[in-house]
Amino acid sequence: MKRIFFLDRHLTERLGFGLLLLVALLTVIPIVAVVIYILYEGGPAISWEFLTAVPRDGMREGGILPAIIGTFYLTIGTAIFSVPLGIAAAIYLSEYAPETGWTRVIRIAIINLAGIPSVVYGLFGLGLFVLFLKFGTSILSASLTLSIMTLPVIISTAEEALRAVPQAFRTVSISLGGTRWQTIRRIVLPQALPGILTGVILGLERAAGETAPILFTGAAFFLPRLPNSPLDATMALPYHLFVISTQVPEMPPQIQYGTALVLLVFVLAMNIIATVIRSRARSRRQW
């Protein structure tokens, strides 16, 4: 009797682990399938013309160059605003902030920023940047909106990277006569750089793929030329994919898949770079 019970326990464990494996596969396989499917269906659409020409014939022909360049500009614009601000905020939280009530408020504010729906960021950008500050629907407005959305990702990953630097490094630097800022700039930041970079890229990856925040702040439905200034509206890959898959009747699927593929490669490349930086930094770390 006792022996059967013993066997049962281990049988349960095996069944349980099998079930968990199944669940994990159920989560992961669709992800891989989605990527492979889009690579497979979108591949034939990719040609030199598709990547370097402007859309023609109501977007049913030609290329998607303005959307590619637009997403590139928006990502750079987002980085310009969010990276310095985010890293500085992380430095404050990790190196300067006292554990007081106000610091808790900052942390709660960051958590809330991370949770605000992307379309609400779009409304905010419309209210503040487009209408109130009169930047119009422009790359500037869209980049500012996206950077506030990206900020919490950058702050929290950068803070984690800074905190991972051993306290002893700081103690030694201070004891050698370094000031607080010298310690941060010369010792802490270089050590935390790979971690910070990973966070920055993952944050920008999200910004590059977002549509809702740029819908009313900077995205153009159809603009068959390249933007001339930061105050121009622009086409963008995610919004373009949305437009050609819902708003344009009789769209050739090949162009849809091709656009999805280019967007996916853009985002995947950033993702892979971030993963590589992280794992290389981990294996080289001496502490």
Residue 191 or 217: which CB sits closer to another protein?
217
Residue 48 or 101: which CB sits closer to another protein?
101
Dump strand ranges (E) for 127-228. none
Q: Which DSSP symbol is given to 248?
A: S
Question: Token digits for 45?
Answer: 């659409």
Query: Closest separation between CB of residue 104 and another protein, Å?
Result: 9
Query: Closest separation between CB of residue 178 and another protein, Å?
Result: 11
Q: Which DSSP symbol is given to 185?
A: I
Confirm if 199 and 165 have CB atoms less than 8 A apart.
no
Query: Closest separation between CB of residue 53 and another protein, Å?
Result: 22
Query: Which helix or strand (DSSP H or E) is residue 62 part of?
Result: strand 61-62
Q: Which residue's entry shows tokens 């905010």?
A: 124
Query: Closest separation between CB of residue 52 and another protein, Å?
Result: 22
Q: Which residue's entry shows tokens 């750079």?
A: 76
The contacts of residue 237 (CB under 8 Å, 6+ apart) are 64, 67, 68, 70, 71, 208, 259, 262, 263, 266
Residue 48 or 211: which CB sits closer to another protein?
211
Query: Which helix or strand (DSSP H or E) is residue 56 part of?
Result: strand 55-56
> What is the rounded CA–CA span in Å between residue 216 and residue 239?
11
Residue 73 or 121: which CB sits closer to another protein?
121
Query: Closest separation between CB of residue 2 and another protein, Å?
Result: 13
- What is the number of residues in the chain? 287
Query: Closest separation between CB of residue 184 and another protein, Å?
Result: 9
Confirm if 215 and 239 have CB atoms less than 8 A apart.
yes
Residue 22 or 172: which CB sits closer to another protein?
22
Residue 118 or 170: which CB sits closer to another protein?
118
Query: Closest separation between CB of residue 32 and another protein, Å?
Result: 7
Residue 48 or 220: which CB sits closer to another protein?
220
Q: Give the angle 207-213-218 at the CA atoms, nearest 5°.
A: 100
Residue 48 or 273: which CB sits closer to another protein?
273
Query: Closest separation between CB of residue 120 and another protein, Å?
Result: 5
- Residue 112: Cβ within 10 Å count: 10
> What is the rounded CA–CA span in Å between residue 271 and residue 101?
36
